[in-house]
């Protein structure tokens, strides 16, 4: 006898789409989980879905719009009041399930042997004075904030105006012990898979890659090799020079060079900035 699934396949697919979006941009969707690092933290969208389905298994969590996307009118996005429900998590870890249950009005109880876990969850759920918090933030923004932002500025390649940088992409390199040329170490030249994480690279969702020869940035549509718009070299964005502790020199062709042995011989890893996201 087979048991009915707690979550049907259609709902499971829609939850997966939400969690994929959240995983890449947690600072926008659920910034509270950036309070302190906790390894293997599960997406909040997953636990919100589980709690809502557990409270009302017969309800339809998602409805879809005409274009197939999740409708903003779905039950998932509505206000909920589960004040009669108590959620116990005896191994609360980063506290994601407690925070999500608390958001929909449930009473929550959690415990963990790890004192860091206790601190994270306590601070995540602690009531705060929002006006006082905003005042502290404005104070920091005018003092330390200005100084920090001045160190992370870049120029837009399109309009040439200044912008705050978000991420810097660095490539490490060593000197080939056989021919003396610099060897840049990377597993692939793919910097991202497009603006939409749920869709493969395409002409409407181009991925960002860098040329392994001249380091110019290019768009890649995921079908064939990329052709650098600067030096006209063709390359596969999924291929690189380094993997599992060994690298290949693109100049002399020597392969299976041990990075550990290279460093033990006295070399130090150097770095080259290849891209800035803003």
Q: What is the pLDDT along the chain (278 residues), one digit of tens a residue?
A: 556 677 888 888 999 988 988 887 777 788 899 899 998 899 999 999 999 999 988 788 998 888 878 898 999 999 999 999 999 999 999 999 999 999 999 999 999 999 999 999 999 999 999 999 999 999 999 999 989 989 999 988 888 898 889 889 999 999 999 999 999 999 999 999 888 777 889 989 999 999 999 999 999 999 889 999 999 999 999 999 999 999 999 999 999 999 999 999 999 999 999 999 88
Same domain, 110 and 185: no
Quote the number of domains for the chain.
2
With respect to residue 148, please indicate whether it lies within any of the assigned structural domains: no
pTM score of the predicted model = 0.59
Contacts of 113 (CB under 8 A, 6+ apart): none
With respect to residue 229, please indicate whether it lies within any of the assigned structural domains: yes
Same domain, 176 and 261: yes
Same domain, 122 and 13: yes
Q: What angle do CA 154, 155, 156 make, to 5 degrees?
A: 125
Range(s) of the domain holding residue 249: 162-277
With respect to residue 140, please indicate whether it lies within any of the assigned structural domains: no
- For residue 204, CA distances in Å to 24, 122, 193, 195, 219 come to 19, 44, 12, 10, 11
Domain end call among 127, 149, 181: 127
Rounded to whole angstroms, the Cα distance separating 130 from 136 reads 10
Same domain, 113 and 19: yes
CB-side neighbour CA atoms (13 Å) of 35: 18
With respect to residue 143, please indicate whether it lies within any of the assigned structural domains: no
Rounded to whole angstroms, the Cα distance separating 6 from 67 reads 27
Same domain, 99 and 179: no
Rounded to whole angstroms, the Cα distance separating 207 from 221 reads 6
Same domain, 89 and 21: yes
With respect to residue 122, please indicate whether it lies within any of the assigned structural domains: yes
Same domain, 110 and 173: no
pLDDT of residue 113: 96
CB of 234 within 8 A of CB of 214? no
pLDDT of residue 2: 57
With respect to residue 118, please indicate whether it lies within any of the assigned structural domains: yes
Same domain, 81 and 186: no
| Tokens coding 245 | 């502790």
Q: What angle do CA 221, 224, 229 make, to 5 degrees?
A: 65
pLDDT of residue 4: 65
Domain end call among 75, 106, 127: 127
Same domain, 15 and 84: yes
With respect to residue 134, please indicate whether it lies within any of the assigned structural domains: no
Same domain, 123 and 178: no
Same domain, 49 and 119: yes
């Amino acid at each position: 006898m087979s048991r009915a699934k707690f979550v049907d396949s259609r709902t499971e697919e829609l939850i997966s789409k939400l969690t994929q979006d959240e995983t890449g941009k947690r600072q926008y969707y659920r910034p509270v989980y950036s309070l302190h690092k906790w390894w293997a933290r599960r997406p909040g969208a997953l636990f919100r879905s589980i709690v809502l389905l557990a409270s009302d298994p017969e309800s339809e969590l998602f409805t879809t719009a005409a274009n197939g996307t999740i409708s903003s009118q779905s039950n998932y996005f509505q206000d909920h009041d589960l004040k009669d429900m108590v959620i116990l998590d005896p191994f609360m870890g980063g506290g994601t399930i407690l925070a999500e249950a608390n958001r929909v009005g449930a009473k929550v109880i959690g415990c963990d042997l790890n004192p860091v876990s206790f601190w994270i969850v306590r601070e995540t759920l602690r009531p705060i004075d929002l006006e006082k918090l905003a005042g502290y933030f404005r104070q920091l923004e005018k003092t330390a904030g200005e100084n920090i932002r001045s160190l992370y500025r870049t120029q837009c390649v399109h309009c040439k105006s200044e912008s705050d940088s978000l991420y810097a992409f660095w490539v490490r390199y060593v000197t080939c012990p056989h021919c003396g040329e610099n060897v840049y170490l990377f597993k692939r030249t793919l910097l991202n898979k497009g603006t939409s994480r749920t869709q493969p690279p395409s002409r409407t969702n181009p991925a960002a890659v860098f040329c392994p020869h001249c380091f110019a940035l290019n768009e890649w549509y995921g079908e064939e090799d990329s052709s650098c718009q600067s030096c006209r070299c063709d390359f596969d964005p999924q291929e690189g020079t380094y993997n599992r502790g060994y690298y290949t020199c693109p100049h002399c062709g020597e392969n299976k060079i041990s990075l550990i042995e290279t460093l033990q011989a006295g070399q130090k890893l150097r770095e080259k900035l290849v891209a800035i996201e803003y």
